[in-house]
Amino acid sequence: MVNQIVVRIAAERIISGGLNPKTGQTYVIDDITNQEYRVAVKDYILTTTEGV
């Protein structure tokens, strides 16, 4: 079970080009190693981004 707050934070960092707190580099979807969270973040991005 994924935490939707964590999903929202990760997705918004990816969308806005925010930094990954672990690496200090731009946060990208490939930084998410947990498959369930990766899918949840992708779904969140697709549902909240206009024109996709």
d(CA 26, CA 48): 20
Q: What is the reported pLDDT for 7?
A: 97
pLDDT, tens digit, 9 for 90 and up, residues 8-23: 999 999 999 999 988 9
d(CA 29, CA 49): 15
Nearest Cα to Cα of residue 32 among 23, 43, 41, 45:
41
- pTM of the complete model: 0.86
